[in-house]
Amino acid sequence: MGNLEYRNDFGAHEFMSVMELVKDYFEGLHRGEVEKLRAIFHPDAFLKAPGLRRSLDQWLDAVANRSVPEQQGRPFHYKLLSIEVIKDQAMVKLECPLFDHRYVDYLGLLKEDGRWLIVNKMYTDLQDSVS
């Protein structure tokens, strides 16, 4: 699993909390579980890809209205590439194969009011960059 580290002054508990959020993210994507996904995103989060910007509600609507990878028998091949946690912020890099795409997602997380939430998602499709 890539570069997984945590700062000793912050603690393994917080690192594991971020990893649990990542697990929920993968499961939400694979199963099309909109409410599971909504629960781990901050309401004002925006999702950004080259040439595309969507609000959380716009993205969740797209998830709700697309095919569900699990129901299509697609493999669960999501990968955690790296996590960096510094105090009350974290950056997570993931590989998310969905349908005929191979996305790399960067999730920006903040811990506010005692809870980790995704406040920003940037992503790109590696399939587009293959010649």
Angle at 7 between CA 104 and CA 110, to 5 degrees: 55
**Residue 7 pLDDT:** 46
Q: Is 92 exposed, middle or buried (0-12, 13-18, 19+ CB in 10 A)?
A: buried
3-129 architecture in CATH? Roll (3.10)
pLDDT profile of the chain (131 residues), mean per 10 = 49 88 97 97 96 96 94 94 93 94 96 96 81 42
DSSP 113: T
Distance of CA 4 to the CA centre of its chain: 16
**Residue 128 pLDDT:** 59
Domain ranges across the chain: 3-129
**Residue 35 pLDDT:** 97
State which amino acid sits at residue 55.
Answer: S
**Residue 129 pLDDT:** 54
